[in-house]
Amino acid sequence: MTEASSKFALVTGGTRGIGQGAALALAAAGYDVLATGLTVEEVAASPPHPAIRHARLDVTRDDEVAAIVTTCPRLDALVNCAGMIQRGGKEFEIDAFRLTIEVNLNGTMRMCLAARDKLAANGDAKSGGAIVNIASMLTFHGSPFAPGYAASKGAIGQLTKSLAAAWAPEGIRVNAVAPGWIATELTRPLVEDAQRSAPILARTPMGRWGEPGDVGGAIAFLLSDAAAFITGTILPVDGGYLAV
């Protein structure tokens, strides 16, 4: 940990996209951050940052999850960004459906369970560690193309509320953000295709794509003392997409 920091955050899926935005936002807020990626290549490609350390992690592996939590000197914040993206019609095949649930839902629960003791050790019922999960617009409505992804993100909403209620006496707050259309490496083909992007922007009252930093800022808020009385909430970060 750096001399200037007294808080430590673990961000899974923190080497790119929304996870990277979260890691950078938390570093700016004064945290030391451990950001994980699924592959050695992802970790190696992550730009260096004085407050961010990078490591490889597969959230479907009990042994790897336990080991990564052990390396944390303390744990004030857990951000569960590791996840499978929408896989279109492949999720109508049971193996692809099962894998999506295993990563997005079970992987999130696995991380929460592993981090629980260290998060609880940092406070009492009024203040302690905090978790932010990654929900989605599909937490609120279904998808005709990605039933596994939609099912996993719907479940993330209920998991967030359930853990918030169960762990509040231990001083652990549990919230989620629900990103709208965010410009990342994965969505770049949509962003750069004016014809496909147009209906997205037309549905979004703020009239633009979100940036990873927009989501990272919301995550940093939910983990901060300013949100000390907020738990069990799902915060849309969508430019107003759900409002219309």
Q: Tens-digit pLDDT profile for the chain (244 aa)?
A: 554 458 999 999 999 999 999 999 999 999 999 999 999 999 999 999 999 999 999 999 999 999 999 999 999 999 999 997 767 678 999 999 999 999 999 999 999 999 999 999 975 445 679 999 999 999 999 999 999 999 999 999 999 999 999 999 999 999 999 999 999 988 999 999 999 999 999 999 999 999 999 999 999 999 999 999 999 999 999 999 999 9
194 by Cβ neighbours in 10 Å (0-12 / 13-18 / 19+) ranks as exposed
Per-residue pLDDT at 216: 98
Tokens of 23: 């890691």
Between CA 84 and CA 106 the distance in angstroms is 12
Per-residue pLDDT at 4: 45
Q: Please, what are the domains in the chain?
A: 7-185+213-236 (3.40.50.720)
Task: Residue 132: name the closest of 106, 99, 114, 159 by CA.
Answer: 159
Indicate which residues carry an active-site annotation: 149
- Helices and strands of the chain, counted as H and E runs: 9, 7
Between CA 27 and CA 33 the distance in angstroms is 6
SS3 content of the chain, % helix, strand, coil (to 5): 50, 15, 35
Per-residue pLDDT at 212: 97
For residue 198, the surrounding DSSP H or E stretch is: helix 194-203
Burial 130-153 (b: 16+ CB within 10 A, else e): bbbbbbbbbbbeebeebbbbbbbb
Per-residue pLDDT at 126: 56
